[in-house]
Amino acid sequence: MSINIVVPEVGESIVDARVAKWLKKEGDSVRAGEALVELETDKVDVEVAAPKAGVLQRIAHGDGADVKIGDILGEIEPGAGTSGTTGTSGTSGERNEATPVSDPQKAPAPKASNVPSTPSARKAARDADVPLSSVKSSGPRVTKADVERTAAAPAATRDQSSPVEPVVTSRDLSSPVVTSRHQSLPAAAPGAMAGKPVVTTSARGETRERMSKRRATIARRLVEAQQTAALLTTFNEVDMSAVMALRARQKEAFKARYGVNLGIASFFVKAAVAALKETPRINAEIQGDEIVLKHYYDIGVAVGAAEGLVVPVLRDADRASFAEIEQGIRDFAKRANDGSLTLDDLRGGTFSITNGGVYGSLMSTPIVNPPQVGILGLHAIKDRPAVANGQVVVRPLMYLALTYDHRIVDGAEAVRFLVRIKELVEDPAVLLLES
């Protein structure tokens, strides 16, 4: 009796997915626990493994198909045709004791490359035509960054790389990968991205690209936020002189002690927590006709990634030290780039911070991340004239923006929130005492 391969439950907020890539074809033998297909969701990717050893009898939804949780992806005929593919040492598959000993006069058949790797790494390897076995991993799994580094190396150097021992990877969660049906690409299509399915629609070089699940979800949620919340943005300006002076004095000692640079993000996370304690409705959400005030501080920090902005969450930021905050943000940035953020990294959050200043933005109006009701926007630090003690002086200044849901946050509260952050950042000694 055939066994169904179903779309698993990935997370409480995820109800659908897209078939990113089948790793097996109909008629292929599979081992129990072997990855069969990669699914792309709006937050993370998941590999669906074979529940039993056997033969992949039917694929119900091909690459690029949209599916719901619980849908049948395909069927496995258990037990049939598995003698040639089971018995790999160290795997989770079922060992077939009747497998004949190979003829010593014949060279063994090459094994499929099952190097431990993230889905984004495997896609990058396919796009760049780089065997995963030739990629030197910087960690326990090959990442997209590892593949790109290998692809950029001269071919001769790449061939001399030490191969990674093939093993079967277990089910993992990582950041979304755009993988759908590949279509023929015109030669030198303008603006075409490697590995992306595009359709030329005019002689002038237009291309059409299907949105990834993440990008489609970002678009939908941003529109929903503006349609369902009464969003308003208020601004202030902060003098960064004291923070920059403190960083200059302490950066070397901080780096030597904690192994991470002292950035500005930790100052604003700490200042935001202190300000949220004084204006609790900015750390709340609306559920029906009730306001849910949250007495914990899980701060989302926006991080740029290849497939769009992600907002991993620093849990209990009020209890974290400056070093722990900086280490957490650096880890998020690294894993956003190599595709190893998990659903738990992105789930929840009571308030968010986004820094457009890293891209040179001088001012913006960020959009809240529902069901949160507030988001703090940081911007570029620029030397500008300021008045101090009756004198015009040049100071490093930054514009702050707070977008909030006016349904439960009054304008006065929003102004007090930004003023408190300004006070704390301009006097880091008070911020340290508040922490």
Q: Residue-wise pLDDT tens for the chain (435 aa)?
A: 889 999 988 766 677 888 988 999 999 999 988 889 988 887 777 889 898 899 999 999 998 888 988 899 999 998 755 444 443 333 334 433 333 333 444 444 334 345 667 766 776 777 777 787 788 877 667 777 788 788 877 655 554 443 333 222 333 333 333 233 333 333 333 333 333 444 556 677 888 888 887 788 778 888 988 888 999 999 999 999 999 999 999 999 999 999 999 999 999 999 999 999 999 999 999 999 999 999 999 999 999 877 678 899 999 999 999 999 999 999 999 988 887 888 889 888 999 999 999 999 999 999 999 999 999 999 999 999 999 899 999 999 999 999 999 999 999 999 999 999 999 999 998 888 776
- Name residue, tokens 């790449």: 158
Give yes or no for a contact between 334 and 139, defined as CB atoms under 8 angstroms apart: no
Strands 351-355 and 299-301: parallel
> What pTM does this model have?
0.64
Strands 299-301 and 35-40: unpaired
- CB-side exposure of 23: number of CA atoms within 13 Å? 22
Residues of the chain with CATH 3.30.559.10: 214-434
Residue 395 backbone phi and psi in degrees, to 5: -135, 150
- Name residue, tokens 């033998």: 29
The SS3 assignment for 237 reads strand
Give yes or no for a contact between 282 and 409, defined as CB atoms under 8 angstroms apart: yes
In this structure, which topology does domain 214-434 adopt according to CATH?
Answer: Chloramphenicol Acetyltransferase (3.30.559)
Candidates 66, 159, 410, 427; catalytic one: 410
Is 331 assigned a catalytic role? no
Residues of the chain with CATH 2.40.50.100: 3-114+166-174
Is 410 assigned a catalytic role? yes
Architecture per CATH, 3-114+166-174 = Beta Barrel (2.40)
Question: 313: which strand partners?
Answer: 300
Alpha-carbon span 117 to 213, nearest angstrom: 21
